[in-house]
A and B are shown apart, each in its own frame.
Chain A
Amino acid sequence: MRIAIGIALYLSAVAVGLGSAWWVLTKAPWMNATVQTGAWKANLRAGSPDADMYTRASVALNALLALDRDETLYFVATHDDTGKSLRSTCTYRVEGIPPKARWWSITAYADDKFLFDAPGGHYSLNGSTATLDINGRFSFTTGGQEQPGTHWLPTPGDRGLFLTLRLYNPEKELQAAPTTMAPPTITPTGACA
């Protein structure tokens, strides 16, 4: 009996070690955000050989094969501008000015970190496909239902959603101070507003 209790306690300790590691690497709010601008967060040590072991493990789990910030800046938005978690069933209007980088893209991912099965293969808006208005701003909507008159990124199903903004070859000033980026706004519309 005492041996069984001892084994159970050791297995519990192992489970606590595994579970705490999993929580820190996937859920801990401080792991994937060293800077934030608007709803967008970025870990500036992603991809860097200088990363500590927690950052390295977190990047391997959440953004494997990331490039370092000189090459690419990655911003992730998991919430809208009102602070609510993004959901694929909601409609969001995303709007902003093109970031100061050689090229950029915003991609919609499901909460399993893979692409939605989007009709027409519309997974992202990027510096090549974005149409700017007379004020030099781009805009698009995400959601399950197409919104007329806008570029639509379909997010079918009912699940968590996040957006990733990639800046390839960001300008030097932006590399040095990523929070100076004018963050694209993420506004819920319709039933989720």
Chain B
Amino acid sequence: MTQMSTRKRLWFYRVLTLTATAAIVHLLTVWAAPRLIMRVLMDGPMAHALNMQNQAAFPLPVNAASRSVVMPSPDMLYSVCVYDVSAGPVQIKANPGLQTYWSVALYSANSDNFFVLNDRKAAGKPVDLWLVSERGNSDGPVVPEGVQVVVSPSTKGFLLMRVLTGDYEAEKSVLEPARRTLVCNKV
């Protein structure tokens, strides 16, 4: 059996260490990217400007100056909220009362879309949810009858309500009040 010289062995371990370092940095970057992007979304300048921590906010209609989230849809009006269930449930209500498409989508801190309710699934009923943390709500306030309980995979996350607008100028008198029915408050 041929033995590696000390010099060769040293270079082998150096190359191994550098390769392992590159691989670990690569994997950490891929893992962390969605979490960092969500953190910027939830705690960044837009979140502060709109004051949307456990509170619904209503950004201006999308246009060329909308640069907070990539690929904004100009055909949707958005209502938003950064929820935080660390100190107890968050109540989410909406009653757009529209015949056209709308949805309420919830995203966890790693960017997964873990819940969505649209107008068809709601079947004409108002949205009435309690969002709770994974540890549940056993020591929290009693959930009122008829309220749907949704467990958030992370203590903090993002709510995005979409309201379809094919022609905003013609429809805004109906759509603006509809999207502003969103309530997102700590119970």
Do A and B belong to a common assembly? yes
**Chain A 69-110 against B: per-residue CB contact (8 Å), 1 yes, 0 no?**
001000000000000000000000000000000110101010
Do B164 and A168 touch (CB < 8 A)?
yes
Interface size on A, residues (CB 8 A): 54
Cross-chain contact A105 with B33 (CB below 8 angstroms): no
Listed in ascending order, the chain A residues whose CB lies under 8 Å from chain B are 9-10, 12-14, 16-18, 20-22, 24-25, 47-49, 51, 53-54, 56-57, 59-68, 71, 102-103, 105, 107, 109, 113-118, 121, 123-124, 126-129, 164, 166, 168-169
Distance in angstroms from B111 CB to nearest chain A CB is 5
Q: How far, in angstroms, from A103 to B33 measured CA to CA in the complex?
A: 32
Instruction: Specify which of A64, A68, A128, A166 is in contact with B70 (CB 8 Å cutoff).
Output: A64
B67: Cβ under 8 A from any A Cβ = yes
Please indicate the chain A residues that have their CB under 8 angstroms from the CB of B28 in the complex.
Answer: 17
Tell me whether B75 and A63 are in contact (CB under 8 A). no
Contact A24/B166 with A105-B73, A114-B72 known, Cβ cut-off 8 Å:
no
> How many residue pairs between the two chains, A and B, have CB atoms under 8 Å in the bound complex?
151
13 additional contacts, CB 8 Å, given A61-B37, A115-B74? A13-B19, A24-B26, A56-B111, A60-B111, A61-B70, A63-B70, A64-B70, A65-B69, A66-B113, A109-B71, A113-B70, A126-B75, A127-B166
Please, how many angstroms separate the alpha-carbon atoms of A20 and B23 in the complex?
Answer: 9
Asked if B33 and A49 sit within 8 Å, CB to CB, the answer is no
A53→B31 contact, CB < 8 A: yes
Stretch of B58-66, B127-135, B178-186 contacting A (4+ beta carbons < 8 Å): B58-66
Inter-chain contact B72/A17, CB cutoff 8 Å: no
Minimal beta-carbon separation of A13 from chain B (angstroms): 4
B33: contacting residue among A57, A126, A127, A169, CB under 8 A: A57
Contact assessment for B166 and A126 in the assembled complex, using a CB-CB cutoff below 8 Å: yes
Q: For chain B, which range describes its interface: under 10, 10 to 19, 20 to 34, or 35 or more residues?
A: 35 or more
B140: CB under 8 A from chain A? no
Measured CB to CB, the closest approach of chain B to A52, in angstroms, equals 10
Q: 10 A-B contacts, Cβ less than 8 Å apart?
A: A18-B26, A22-B29, A25-B30, A48-B113, A61-B70, A63-B70, A103-B164, A115-B74, A121-B74, A126-B75
Least CB distance from B121 to A in Å reads: 10
Contact (A115, B64) CB under 8 Å given A57-B34, A71-B116: yes
Whole-angstrom distance between the Cβ of B123 and the nearest chain A Cβ: 14
Measured between beta carbons, the chain B residues less than 8 angstroms from A12 are 18
CA distance A107 to B111 in the complex (A): 23
Q: How far is the CB of B61 from chain A (nearest CB, A)?
A: 9
Interface residue B150 (Cβ < 8 Å from any Cβ of A): no
- If A64-B69, A67-B116, A115-B72 touch, whether A17 touches B37 (CB-CB below 8 Å) is no
**Stretch from B45-53, B86-94, B100-108 contacting the other chain:** B100-108
Q: Of the candidates B30, B38, B74, which one forms a contact with A54 in the assembled complex, judged by CB atoms under 8 Å apart?
A: B30
CA distance A64 to B70 in the complex (A): 6
B118 touching A60, Cβ below 8 Å: no
Tell me how far the C-beta of B54 lies from the nearest C-beta in chain A, rounded to whole angstroms: 19
Which residues of B are found within 8 Å of A10, using beta-carbon distances? 18, 21
Residue of A nearest to B120 (CB): A169
B112 and A166 within 8 A (CB):
no
Docked CA distance A13–B17 (Å): 9
**Docked-complex contact A53 and B30, CB < 8 angstroms:** yes
B98 at the interface (CB under 8 A from A): no
